[in-house]
Amino acid sequence: MRFVAFNKEGVSGVGVLLQDDRVLDVRSVLKDVSSIKALIERASDDDIALLASATSRVEDYRTYGLSEVVICPPIKRPIHDILCVGVNYLDHLKETKDTVKGFKEATAPVYFSKRAISILGSEDTIELRDDLDDKLDYEVELAVIIGKRGKDIPIEEVEDYIFGYSVFNDISSRSLQKRHGQWFRGKSLDTYTAMGPAILHKSALPFPVKIDVRSYVNDELRQSSNTEMMIADIPSLISELSMGMTLEPGDIVATGTPAGVGMGFSPPKYLKKGDKVVCEIPSIGKLVNYIN
């Protein structure tokens, strides 16, 4: 199931995307669930089974056509800063070594946080700050959405703590990254975080996840890889992050980007006003954003 946040005539809700471009209103099945955050916090195996059953008999429940609602970011205000993993694909590691002078390969996963007061959804606009940033870049990533509170999680139990997956664009200012010598500042400007259009429940994919990730700029394919190419896989990442640090329902973990980012080209292909960026992961959907 793919869960979406939507707005209908000023009222927010959470839905399940159906095959016929309709949205099943989750509140017609689970009465007290009005947001994806609320769904993540309460969803038991029985709740998920009930929702799955409802998708096969939609005539008994409330549904809307996609044209009747506005699809919103699945999580607009994250509960904490987003947990990110740097240089976690083999091809992006090589690309970074080739393009970043003095880059030193780490011997363990590189974690950093990304501040996002408000996350963009699909069809939203990224505001380019020309006065601060002349090297705006894109990074398609698979985001893991935590579904259960946990600490010191064994690798073999990680899937139990995951709710689902989404498409993530880790929008980045390479000029700010270079100036400050670290990643937080250059990745945390307002509108520099996008996720959506949906959260795919974990039950839809075998675990560990092996799925294609792609990005396009103005219809030109820029990134194309598979999560199988990660240096550190999802079980090891989530387990390690949880060692001594509590993860909570709704936490977002961005698992890294493959080669093909703008800075990796010669000459670089940074984003500019008027560009259209599409990040795509099959079975989850396309995250579409525009540069203003």
- Note whether residue 77 is domain-resident: no
Domain range enclosing 225: 82-291
If asked whether residues 58 and 121 sit together in one domain, one would say: no
Give the per-residue pLDDT at 275.
Answer: 99
Note down pLDDT in tens along the chain; length 292 residues. Answer: 999 999 999 999 999 999 999 999 999 999 999 999 999 999 999 999 999 999 999 999 999 999 999 999 999 999 999 999 999 998 777 777 677 666 667 678 999 999 999 999 999 999 999 899 889 999 999 999 999 999 999 999 999 999 999 999 999 999 998 888 788 999 999 999 999 999 999 999 999 999 999 999 999 999 999 999 999 999 999 999 999 999 999 999 999 999 999 999 999 999 999 999 999 999 999 999 999 9
**Residue 128 belongs to some domain of the structure:** yes
176 and 263 in a single domain? The answer is yes
| 161 and 208 share one domain | yes
Total tally of structural domains belonging to the chain: 2
| Residue 250 within a domain | yes
Structural domain includes residue 46: yes
If asked whether residues 52 and 123 sit together in one domain, one would say: no
Last residue of a domain, one of 22, 50, 72: 72
Supply the pTM of this predicted model.
0.95
- CATH, residue 259: 3.90.850.10
Return the pLDDT at 239: 99
**Helices (H), ranges, the chain:** 36-42, 45-54, 90-99, 174-180, 234-242
Coil, helix or strand at residue 8: strand
**Interatomic CA distance for residues 143 and 255, integer angstroms:** 6
Same domain, 48 and 180: no
Strands 22-25 and 11-17: antiparallel
Q: Residue 39: inside a domain, yes or no?
A: yes
Query: In this predicted structure, what is the pLDDT of residue 102?
Result: 64
How much is the pLDDT for 103? 67
d(CA 28, CA 206): 29
> Same domain for 92 and 26?
no
Q: Is 106 inside any structural domain?
A: yes
State whether 43 and 117 are in the same domain.
no
Residue 213 lies in a domain: yes
Alpha carbon distance 139, 116 (integer Å): 16
The Cα–Cα gap between 1 and 163 comes to 11
Q: How far is it, in rounded angstroms, from Cα 100 to Cα 190?
A: 25
Same domain membership, residue 113 and residue 203: yes
Claim to verify: residue 88 and residue 161 sit in the same structural domain: yes
Those residues whose C-beta lies under 8 Å from the C-beta of residue 251, and which sit 6 or more positions away, are 78, 79, 80, 83, 145, 146
Specify whether 274 is located in the same domain as 151. yes
| Cα-only R_g, the chain | 19
Asked whether residue 136 is assigned to any structural domain, the reply reads yes
Do 205 and 131 lie in one domain? The reply is yes
